Every structure is written in C-alpha cells, then in structure tokens.
Amino acid sequence: MLTNFTVKNYRSFKLERTFSMEASSIKEHKDSVINKGKYSLLPLAVLYGANAGGKSNLIKAISTMLSIVRNSVRLNEGDALQYDPFTLDESSDSKPTLFEIQFINGEVLYRYGFEYNKTDIISEWLYEKRFGEKEYSLFMRSRDIIEVSDKRFPEGLGKEDLTNSNRLFLSLVAQLKGEKSNLIMGWFGKCNVLSGIASEGYEAFTLGMFFEHLNGADEAQEFFRTLQLGFTRFSVNKVDLPKETLDNTPKLIREQLEQDLATGNFVESITTHNVYNDNGLVIGERNFHKDQIESEGTKKVIEISGPIFDTLNEGETLIVDELDAKLHPLLTRNIVLLFMDPEKNPHGAQLIFATHDTNLLDLDIIRRDQIWFAEKDKVESTDIFSLVEFKDEDGKKVRNDRDIKRDYIRGRYGAIPFIGK
C-alpha cells in the first residue's frame, strides 16, 4: 500500500512536496481506514485544483517515477532519462529532479527514492522498516559510489560497479535475481496510473477480463446492475469474419486479422437490453454493440471497470487523472463508495484520483484527510495540502460539520480558478 510520495523539481513542482495516504487521528469513517501493523492508511484520496494548478502534474510525477523504475533495465548507456524540471526560474532546469515513495509490502515499510537529471542518476537510496523495528538502510548511492548493507541487502554486494550512470541500482539487482529487490519491483507493478479521458491501454484489459471470465467480471456485472445503466447484461464475444470478407481484404491487413482471430484478440463488446410490448412488459431481449447505443458515460464505466475491480481483488493501488470525465456525479460517487466500503474492499486497495466534481466534497462519504488541493503560488510553483491540514486566517482547522462544497466554491480553501470580470 502507498503511504507517501514526495516530488521536487518536476514540471510545476519547484519545491519539495509530499502527498500522503496515512490516516490522521480524526474519527469520521473509521471503518474505512486500513490498518497495517501500527500504520493506518486511507483507501482513497481525491485531488482538487484549478485547471493548470498542478494536480495532473502530481499524477504525472508518480507515473514518471513508475516508468523510470520499470524501464531502467532497458536503457542503454547514454540513453536520456525522463527529465522534465521546473523551468520558470533561473536555476531549476540545471538541478536534479527528486522522487521518493514509501509503501508497505507485507509487514515492511519501504522508502525508496532517487535524484536524476537528463543523463545520470545523481543519488539513489532504499530503506526498510519492519513492523516493530527502526528504519535501516539497504543501500545508498551517490553517483557511481554505492554503499550496500551486507546484513540487510546482501544480494546487492558485488554488483556496485555494474550499474551504468543512467540506470537504477535497484532494477539492476532485481534483473540479476535479487530476492528482496524483485519483491520491491513487484510492488511497482501493482501501482497503476490511468487517464480518465482516454481508454486506450485499459479497455483491452477490461474486455479480456469479461471474455475470459476472470476475477472481477462477476463483481463488475453486479456493479452495472446496481448503477441501473439500462442494459441487463454485458458480454464480450469472439468475432468470426466470413471467408469472403478476409479474401477481399488487402494482404497485410488480412494477415493481421487472421492472427488476431487465431489468438482470440478480435472480439466485440455487447450490451443486452430488454424489449417491451405496448403495455411495458418484457417480451424479449436485443443485443447491441457497446459503441452503437450506449452513452459516453456508460462506455466509460464499462471500460474502466476492469482496472477498478482488478485493483479491488488484488489489493493494489490505482491512480486516475480526471476519473469523473464523462461520468454522472452519481456514477463517480458509487466508484468512491466501492473503495470506502471494507466489505467491497477487503484487501486494502487504494484509489487516488484528480477531479473537478465538487459533489464529492461531502463528509458523509469521505474524510477530511482524503481531500487534497493543488494550487500555484506567485511564481507558479505548485503546492499541495489536505483539508485536514488547512487552517484559516485565524489559525483554526476545518470542522467536520462545515459545508465543504460551499466553502470550496467560495474560495475558502483556494485551489480554484480566478476568473476576471
């Protein structure tokens, strides 16, 4: 489970800022809090802010860190890194970007991070804190000098000189079959970032879930029924193209179609609707291709259901930019409630998303420490803070009986657009 993420000198983040999924001591919705040893973690966080305020950049920062970690082993010497520093001052574009992430895997809290520029890893570190123990360093790196703990990280010994300047030591050790490093790399594979606007990259995953009837398919069908989307059933079927269609297709396209058909990659998604007589009684069913009849919001719910229910079943972390795009507020609310309900979220899954949907600013469904704001200061550097941290001009914190939605729209917490008259 994700506990904290820190970023510095990345896009609109000039200064070091930390986003946290650790639960505060407030009492609301205590049953939704996930307890891991002495740690109390949140199943959900919602990020608000004006357009260009930096909330998407926080999600991009997490995505970039994940990408660097996952793809480091593929880099050749001299390949450029994904360096995108703050550029609205005189010096940040010559300074390193910093990413650090803390997460719980099993009964261990790991803290891993690195600093880098366009060409080199400047520093890298990994710490572990077993439940009930103090934190210990596994390794520390300063450019090409790597100090490894022979007791805590023996799998890294003897590999210190094998790492290129643009590659991460952690990923190298994992590639060389390090047990602990592979365990850590495995966690990075369980943290996924999606766009709430474009379904490319996850619609195919969802269709595969239904086609192969994997874990999550039944739960998604039940969720569709709860939402009353209009159809009675969703299904994914293999497509068989007539031979004459293939014969009349250009050779290169035909070969790809034949390969897709042979591997089951060519499928169609079907929604089944009731057919009624003049008295309103059901007299049959009719099938439609999903894209033929369903609204954009309904298609969005179907397409994103795969990642959502896979995340819930596997106890993973899902991060979505603009989850609410194309969705009715009640649909977004019901997705939130899935993660907030310990019965529907028994494995400690987490959902983090950016949104403009102010209907979720409702303390009847989420906690104050789950509401985050992003806004830029006078030099256009992004700051982030949670509602539970906010203090007004008198130094008072936000009470749990405030009308959060009204206060936010009126600008009490900032992180809204300033529109000139």
Predicted confidence (pLDDT) per residue in 200-209, tens digit: 778 989 999 9
pLDDT of residue 421: 46
How many helices and strands (H and E) does the chain possess? Answer: 11, 18
Q: Kindly report the CATH number that applies to the domain delimited by 2-190+315-409.
A: 3.40.50
pLDDT of residue 333: 97
pLDDT of residue 199: 79
pLDDT of residue 397: 87
Q: What is the pLDDT of residues 18-51, one digit of tens each?
A: 999 999 999 999 999 999 999 999 999 999 998 8
Closest Cα to residue 60, out of 364, 322, 379, 284? 322
Q: What gap in Å lies between CA 300 and CA 305, rounded to an integer?
A: 8
Half-sphere exposure at residue 159, Cβ-oriented, CA atoms within 13 angstroms? 23
Asked if the model's pLDDT at residue 242 lies above 60, the reply is no
All CATH 3.40.50 domain ranges of the chain, comma separated, are 2-190+315-409
Q: What gap in Å lies between CA 204 and CA 34, rounded to an integer?
A: 31
pLDDT of residue 239: 77
Q: What is the pLDDT of residues 188-229, one digit of tens each?
A: 999 999 999 887 778 989 999 999 999 999 999 999 999 999
Q: What gap in Å lies between CA 411 and CA 402, rounded to an integer?
A: 14
pTM (global) more than 0.85: yes
Q: What gap in Å lies between CA 264 and CA 258, rounded to an integer?
A: 10
Residue 393's pLDDT band (cuts 50, 70, 90): confident
Query: Lowest-confidence range among 179-183, 266-270, 280-284, 357-361?
Result: 266-270
The token duo for 203 is 């619609």
Q: What is the pLDDT of residues 303-345, one digit of tens each?
A: 999 999 999 999 999 999 999 999 999 999 999 999 999 999 9
Q: What is the pLDDT of residues 62-115, one digit of tens each?
A: 999 999 999 999 999 999 999 999 999 999 999 999 999 999 999 999 999 999
Q: What gap in Å lies between CA 216 and CA 313, rounded to an integer?
A: 7
CB 97 within 8 A of CB 67: no
Q: What gap in Å lies between CA 112 and CA 174, rounded to an integer?
A: 14
Mean predicted lDDT score pLDDT of the chain: 92
pLDDT of residue 357: 95
Cα-Cα end-to-end distance for the chain: 45
Half-sphere exposure at residue 257, Cβ-oriented, CA atoms within 13 angstroms? 15
Closest Cα to residue 184, out of 108, 260, 116, 258? 108
Residue 112 sits at the vertex; the CA angle it makes with 102 and 310, to the nearest 5 degrees, is 55
